[in-house]
Amino acid sequence: MSVENITNTVNTTAAYTAATQKAATPAEKTDTSSKDTATKDSGVVYEKGQTSTNATYSKSDIVARLKKDADTRTAQLRSLVEKMMTSQGNKIGQADSIWRFLASGNYTVSPEVKAQAQADIADDGYWGVEQTSDRIVEFAKALSGGDSEKAAELRAAFEKGFKAATKSWGKELPSISQRTYDAVMEKFDKWEGKTAEEE
SS (H, E, C) the chain: CCHHHHHHHHHHHHHHHHHHHHHCCHHHHHHHHHHHHHHHHHCCCCCCCCCCCCCCCCHHHHHHHHHHHHHHHHHHHHHHHHHHHHHCCCCCCCHHHHHHHHHHCCCCCCHHHHHHHHHHHCCCCCCCHHHHHHHHHHHHHHHHCCCHHHHHHHHHHHHHHHHHHHHHHCCCCCHHHHHHHHHHHHHHHHHHCCCHHHC
Q: Where are the domains of the chain?
A: 3-42, 59-198
- pLDDT digit string, tens, across residues 160-194: 999 999 998 888 999 999 999 999 999 999 999 87
Q: What is the mean pLDDT of the chain?
A: 73
Flag whether the pTM goes above 0.85.
no
pLDDT grade, residue 16 (50/70/90)?
Answer: very low
- pLDDT digit string, tens, across residues 20-52: 455 444 554 445 444 444 444 444 444 544 444
